[in-house]
Structure 1
């Protein structure tokens, strides 16, 4: 779905300009997104298999929930909205634990350049996987895997080809942040 997004400079500062998401991707304009990583107290992490019809990285495992911030929307509001839409779970701002903002540039082709600043959050998953309701248009599947397995496959680069290529430092940051909270 195309939507109006805020345009950022290369350092992540608001420029006061907006554009449609499709135009931001076509021109490689920086814009904000959210990532919400769900984890359980027994050291598992929730992953989403991206939909088969996604423009980027179809059928690769990815962050639990992710989405673009609408123009004028703050990252917490976006996170709450995206969690509800993508996995059918209702959370509030107090459930979100921000771990940072991460710059990402991925050139998929000449007309699709993702230049984004991911506002990354952790959120404890307090319900069983069976209670989640995936958004069929966006999410192919959901699974919980042990954090150690996720670490080995991303940080250890064992099965990196199965994951969206967010970069080693990003994955390390997420894993370390979850470990601190366990």
Structure 2
């Protein structure tokens, strides 16, 4: 969906301008997104296989839930909305634990530069995997992986072709923060 999104300056501050997501990607304009990592108290992490028709990284495994923040939308509201849309789970603000932001710029092609400021959250998953409802076209599959296996596959980038390339620093941060909570 080509929604309107707010544009940020190089420091992650709002510029007061917005445009269509497609224009932001074409011009490489920095914009806000949300990443919500869901984990279970027994040390498993929910990962999502991206839809086969996604413009970026189709069929690769990724963050539990991710999405763009719509123009004028509050970041926490966007996180709650994305969780509901992508996996059919209702959460509230107190369920989300902020880990801060992570700036990522990926040149996908000559006319597609994905410049995003990810607002990262952790959220404990209390529902069984079979009760989650995948959003068609966005989510191909969901899996609960033991945290140690996820760490093994992402820290050393042993499975480069399996996961979205967020980089070892990003993945280490997520894993370390979840370890503190289980």
TM range (shorter): over 0.9
Deviation at 1:74, TM superposition (A): 1.3
Other-structure match for 2:161:
161
Runs of 4+ in 1 over 4 A off after TM superposition: none
Q: What TM-score do you get using the length of structure 2 for normalisation?
A: 0.99
Deviation at 1:176, TM superposition (A): 0.7
Deviation at 1:75, TM superposition (A): 1.1
Q: 2: CA distance between counterparts of 1:157 and 1:105?
A: 19
| Cα deviation digits, residues 48-84 of structure 1 (max 9, x gap) | 0000000000000000000000011111100000000
Deviation at 1:156, TM superposition (A): 2.4
The count of corresponding residues between Structure 1 and Structure 2 is 182
Stretches of structure 2 lacking an aligned partner (at least 5 in a row): none
Stretches of structure 1 lacking an aligned partner (at least 5 in a row): none
Q: 1: CA distance between counterparts of 2:160 and 2:110?
A: 24
Other-structure match for 1:81:
81
Please report the RMSD computed on the Cα atoms of aligned residues, expressed in angstroms.
0.6
Q: What TM-score do you get using the length of structure 1 for normalisation?
A: 0.99
Matched, 1:10 2:10: yes
